[in-house]
């Protein structure tokens, strides 16, 4: 099974998943320096449904959001690493500063973010709830963050 797919391919896969009544879970992020906190988030997210889609910011999007020194790891490598993790079923890229357009297209059943976000701050939350989905905040592993890792380096 191909795990890194384009958004167009993911739309077709999503149609098939919907026909098979599979519960789709969606999360997103930069995932620049992969760490145990990311894996924990993916494991818990996968437990909320049948299929986990992880949307990753494009390199250009990361630069706009985080500055010219980021990403540390290019998209191709980030996607390959995330796709290699057992809980992750599909990885897609998004080029906007937020995944809102992608969320609206894929219409996931469950939208997941870390508990460091308030529901009101989660992009796409109101849209997911509007079509009957749910938004879940997952407690993060203490002391694990890309920011802390980059500061230590």
Q: Which CATH class is domain 7-152?
A: alpha beta
60-81: per-residue pLDDT in tens?
999 999 999 999 999 999 999 9
Alpha-carbon distance values, 21 to 16, 79, 93, 115 (Å): 9, 27, 24, 28
Residues 78-124: pLDDT tens digits? 999 999 999 999 999 999 999 999 999 999 999 999 998 999 999 99
The separation between the first and the last C-alpha atoms of the chain, rounded to the nearest angstrom, is: 36
pLDDT at 40 over 60: yes
- The residues near 127 (Cβ < 8 Å, ≥ 6 apart) are 100, 103, 104
Alpha-carbon separation of residue 114 from 22, 67, 140 (angstroms): 23, 22, 6
- Per-residue pLDDT, 33: 87
pLDDT range class, residue 153, cuts 50, 70, 90: low
Domain segments of the chain as ranges: 7-152
Q: Which bin fits 37, alpha (ψ -120 to 50), beta or left (φ > 0)?
A: alpha
Token couple for 79: 């996607």
- Percent of the chain past pLDDT 90, that is, above it, reads 84
Strands (E), 30-115: 51-57, 90-94, 110-114
Q: Looking at residue 151, what is its pLDDT?
A: 63
């Amino acid at each position: 099974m191909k795990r890194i797919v384009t958004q167009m391919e993911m739309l077709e896969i999503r149609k098939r998943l919907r026909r098979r009544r599979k519960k789709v879970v969606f999360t997103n992020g930069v995932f620049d320096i992969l760490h145990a906190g990311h894996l924990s988030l993916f494991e818990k997210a996968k437990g909320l449904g049948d299929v986990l889609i992880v949307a990753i910011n494009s390199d250009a999007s990361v630069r706009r959001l985080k500055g010219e020194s980021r990403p540390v790891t290019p998209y191709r490598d980030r996607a390959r690493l995330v796709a290699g993790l057992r809980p992750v079923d599909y990885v897609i890229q998004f080029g906007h500063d937020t995944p809102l357009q992608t969320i609206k297209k894929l219409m996931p059943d469950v939208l997941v973010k870390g508990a460091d976000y308030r529901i009101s701050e989660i992009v796409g939350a109101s849209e997911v709830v509007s079509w009957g989905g749910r938004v879940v905040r997952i407690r993060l592993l203490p002391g694990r963050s890309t920011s802390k890792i980059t500061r230590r380096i």
